[in-house]
Amino acid sequence: KQEVTQIPAALSVPEGENLVLNCSFTDSAIYNLQWFRQDPGKGLTSLLLIQSSQREQTSGRLNASLDKSSGRSTLYIAASQPGDSATYLCAVRQTGANNLFFGTGTRLTVIP
């Protein structure tokens, strides 16, 4: 069964810093990987989706990379802002399946 792990569980950085969030998965037979943002008590906002054939995707200050063979993805956030404070979740969709397997999340705090 696919297991998705995110390290670190929590991260606190001063405003303006660049940072990297990590996601690892045990089964490399994935169809795609999605990064989400979750604010406390709220729903999940999709940030980026990377197909298994892609190496990276960019949206504004966010850049997600995927190394399928090693079972890793990273989310790079440039010039962090206090509004980036949230929990970031990665989720993988297995080849031949419909559903997402979610990681444990990284709780990010950006200090003004």
Partner 1 sequence: EPEVTQTPSHQVTQMGQEVILRCVPISNHLYFYWYRQILGQKVEFLVSFYNNEISEKSEIFDDQFSVERPDGSNFTLKIRSTKLEDSAMYFCASRGGDGITDTQYFGPGTRLTVL
Residues of this chain that interact with partner 1 (CB under 8 A) are 31-32, 34, 36, 41-46, 49, 51, 89, 91, 93, 97-105
Q: Which is nearer to partner 1, 14 or 96 (CB)?
A: 96
Q: Which is nearer to partner 1, 41 or 112 (CB)?
A: 41
**What is the closest distance, in whole angstroms, from the C-beta atom of residue 66 to partner 1 in the complex?**
14
Strand ranges of the sheet holding 19-25, from the earlier edge strand across to the other edge: 4-7, 19-25, 72-77, 62-67, 56-59
> Which tokens belong to 78?
């440039």
> Which tokens belong to 5?
């792990």
